[in-house]
Structures are given as structure tokens and as C-alpha cells.
Amino acid sequence: MSATIELPVWLVALAGALAAVAFVDRLLTPAVRWFFRRRVNRAIEELNTRLQLKIKPFGLTRRQVLIDRVAHDPDVMIAAEEHAREQNMPVAVAMDQAERYAREIVPAFNAYAYFRIGIRIARMLSTALYRVRLGYTDTEALSSVNPDSTVVFVMNHRSNMDYVLVTYLASASTTLSYAVGEWARIPVLQTLIRAMGAYFIRRDTRDRLYRRVLAAYVRMATDAGVTQAIFPEGGLSRDGALRPVRLGLLSYILSAHEHGDRDTVFIPVGVNYDRVLEDRSLVADATGHAAPVSTLQKTATTLAFLFRNLRLRMAGKWHRFGYACVSFGKPVSLNAMLARHGAARWTDLAEAERPALTEEIGAMLMEEVGRVIPALPVSLVAVALLDAPAGELDLLALKARVGALIDRLAERGAHVHVAHADRDYEVTAGLRMLTLRRIVTRGEDGLLHIAPGEEILVAYYANAIRHLL
């Protein structure tokens, strides 16, 4: 028993390393995980005392558990069997594909990343680029929303800044889970976006299995009370006007009413900007003048834009891009809408009635969104210039036209953000943004003209409020 055994140094080193790994894996890692989980849970409890719409347990569930739940949803399993028959493949292979889709869609919400990183970035970016303003908001109606309801913010989509701006303005009341397009699937960025609770979607896919997996996730999140934000237009407006409603995500949200008694409350959100960062590329795409652009070219263009604005800022000649304003409309209860059709739940409706009611709800929500879009200086000046009989105005005539527009909008109940409550400054602010970009020029005769070739861009900003008139 007391004999000496000689071992090679490399074997002792290997055994020591394995023992260290086992110690970390079995003792240290669980202890550290428990420590941080306890701190996170305490932080979430504290946050929930401040938030009007609490963080739901669904959002804190481990991501792998959610992936398994989505991939093994009964509707998904039926769809996988159908997909296997159509593609002449084993059901197990189709199920693996469904799981890959679920892994692609399901977010990885992290409260620390959302509030300590995401919100700070959103606030910094929003206020650095724009004069951010909260427009119309029905505070009494919003405060009366049942906290146990599933709240869905329904928004118009003018810029990719919409995600950042609305997240910042809503951060005092709730966390938002967005449906994000494939544009954001960049290695580092997508990790942060998932941690913010957003989920990725393929907007134009015709794969029925994928759509069934997406429907299962949205239905589960809605049924669990997760606060969501959707863009019914399905993409950015190319001409500045509201686009027709696309009913995919909305139909998935409505179908969640089949499984639970929780009410779904839709809150219309109207967003407008004095300058949309992507305006020229959107207009070029709408007119068919946009040439195919590679990722390298997009990156080079973005860097050139940033460098140019940084140079202006260092020279003291840089101005923020005007105002960015968000209005929150009156909440719309799904239970109340169903009651008007003599139903208590979605399943009480006949199968043939549901598509028509989905279209009716989508159109009504988009109308409400359009009603709360705020009128900002650039949009007002753009409408006044485009509607001028000769296509040119002096400054006094422009101020008179903008004043008349403000009166018309006020009569119709629209929200007009009059900067500093000064209508003259309203014109000055809108005109400055357009002249700095050389979209509007002043002739030797002192008259203001739309620069040649810029009529479509001016119309883009005018279309943002044209429906209000």
C-alpha cells in the first residue's frame, strides 16, 4: 500500500487539467450561474414594479425549451408530416427542418441586455440623430388597459429607425418584442437583436412548414401575454404613403384567441420623421431606378454617409435630422370587436367568417394608425410646395400656406407638432432641412423652388400626411 508509483509528467498534467475542468463544470459553473440568475431575477422583480406592462414568464423561459415547444406544437407536427409526404423524405428529416426554423425564429430575451444595453443605445442614437418628441397620446385610455391583456403595438413603417425610436419611447412602460426582417441577420447584430426579445421572420417565403412554425411561435407568445410590435404594411413605405395591409402576422395573433381567455389589445402607433435616413434608396426602389447593390457597396455607402456627417460635426456645421415624433392612439380590444360580431372567442366564429373579419380588423387598425401619424415641419412644407400653382413660392406665401394646412389638420383632429408653438419657426425648421439637402433652392428672385429631379423626394415627405388632408 505504501509503494511508490511513478507517472509521466504529461499524464499528471492531463489528470490535473481534467480535474480542474470537472471542478469548474460541476461546482463553480452552477454556483456562478445561480448567483447571476438570482441577481437577474431580483432585477426583473424590481423592473416589474415600475413597468405598466410586466415582463411575462414566457419571455424568461430558457430558449431551448421554447424551441422544443414550438417544434413539437401539434400544428407544426402535422405540417411536418405533410411536408415529408410532399418532398418524399422521412418525417424525422422534416421534423429536424422544423426545429431549425424554430431555432431561427425564437428570440433569446435578456432583461439585462434590453434595459442596460439596448435602451441606452436606443436613447443615445435617437437623441443624437433627431429632436425626439412624443406626439398625441391618450394617457387615460392607455393606463386603463388591463395588465393581464396581450398588448400589440401596431405601427406604420417608415424607417429602420422605427425599432430604435419606439423602443426608447416605450421603455418606461414595457418591453417590446418585434418581428424583424432578414436585413438584420448580421452575425454580431442579430445576437443583440435576439437578446432584445425580437424574432426574425422571412417575409416573402412560401414554405408552408416555415409559416406553420412561425404561426406556432407567435400564437404561443400572444397566448402568454408577451407585448409585441408589428408592422402591418410588411415592409418600409417606398413612396411615403401607407401601404396595403398584409395579414400574415395579424392572423397568427388573432388565432391565439382560440386557446386562451386573455384579451388582445391593439395600440395604434404613428411614426413620422423630418428626415428618413433611407429616403433616397426607398424612392429609387419605388421608381425602379435602383440598381442591384452588393453588401460591400451598401457598407461603403453607409460608411461614407457616417464620415461625411462626422466631418460636418467636427467643423461645427452639422445639424440633427430635424424632428422624429411618435403618437400613441386609443387602444382597440379584440374582445370588444368579437362581441360586436356576437362571439366571445375566435373559435365562436364560423370558419368562413374568420378571413373576412381578419381583413376588417387589419383595415380598421391601419386606418387608426394613419389617423395618429403626426404632421412634422418637413411634411407640411413639402405639401405646401407641391400644391403651389406655379411650383414656386416666396417665404411669406409659404408661411401662409403652411398655416392654412395646420388649421385644416387641426379641424380634422390630426396631431401637428408645432415646434416651440411658433408657426413661423415651423416653416423655418422644415425649410432648413430641405435647403440643407439642396432639395429646395432659392432663386435670384427670392422664390423657393423644388430642385430639378427632387419632386419625387418632396412627394415622399408630403405623402406621409397626405391622407390626413
Q: What is the pLDDT of residues 65-94, one digit of tens each?
A: 999 999 999 999 999 999 999 999 999 999
pLDDT for the residue 59: 75
The sign of the CA dihedral 81, 83, 89, 94 is: negative
Tell which CATH architecture fits domain 103-298+318-371. 3-Layer(aba) Sandwich (3.40)
In whole angstroms, give the CA distance from residue 205 to residue 211: 8
What share of the chain has pLDDT > 70, as a percent?
86
Sign of CA dihedral 353, 359, 360, 362: positive
Angstrom distances, CA of residue 118 to CA of 123, 125, 176, 195, 266: 9, 10, 11, 9, 24
Closest CA to 139 of 55, 222, 225, 52: 52
Task: Measure the CA–CA gap between 62 and 272, rounded to whole angstroms.
Answer: 37
Residues of the chain with CATH 1.10.10: 377-466
Cell of residue 438, nine digits: 439642396
By the 8 A CB rule, do 465 and 373 touch? yes
Query: CA 366 to CA 354: how far, in whole Å?
Result: 18
pLDDT at 403: 94
Q: How far apart are CA 53 and CA 452, in angstroms?
A: 50
Bridge partners, 268 (sequence order)? 154
Closest CA to 148 of 256, 230, 54, 218: 54
Residue 365: the pLDDT is: 95
Full-model pTM: 0.85
* Local confidence band at 294 (pLDDT 50, 70, 90 cut-offs): low
Residue 15 vs residues 152, 337, 459: alpha-carbon distances, Å: 56, 68, 73
pLDDT attached to residue 416: 92
As a whole number of Å, the end-to-end CA separation of the chain is: 98
SS (H, E, C) 362-380: HHHHHHHHHHCCCECHHHH
Tell the burial category of 20 from Cβ atoms under 10 Å away from its Cβ (0-12, 13-18, 19+). Answer: exposed
> Which residues does 57 contact at the CB level (< 8 Å), separation at least 6?
224
Q: Find the mean pLDDT for residues 232-240.
A: 90
pLDDT value of residue 157: 93
C-alpha distance from residue 443 to each of 380, 394, 396, 435, 446 (Å): 21, 10, 15, 12, 5
Rounded Cα distance between 293 and 9, Å, is 59
pLDDT-wise least confident of 49-63, 139-153, 231-245: 49-63
**CA distance linking residue 410 with residue 311, whole number of Å:** 40
**377-466 CATH pick, 3.40.50, 2.60.40, 1.10.10, 3.30.310:** 1.10.10
Which residues in 277-309 are b (16+ Cβ under 10 Å) and which e?
Answer: bebebbbbebeeeeeeeeeeeeeeeeeeeeeee
Name the segment(s) of the chain with CATH classification 3.40.1130.10: 103-298+318-371
**Interacting residues of 178 by C-beta distance below 8 A, sequence separation 6+:** 163, 196, 197, 198, 199, 228, 229, 230
Give CA–CA dist 235/248, Å, rounded. Answer: 13
- At residue 417, does pLDDT exceed 80? yes
Of 151-155, 264-268, 287-291, 372-376, which range is least confident? Answer: 287-291
* pLDDT tens digit sequence for 310-321: 777 677 766 788
The Cα–Cα gap between 317 and 311 comes to 9
Lowest mean pLDDT of 187-191, 197-201, 356-360, name the range. Answer: 187-191
Round to whole Å and give the CA distance between 398 and 430: 11
Mean pLDDT over residues 173-182, rounded? 82
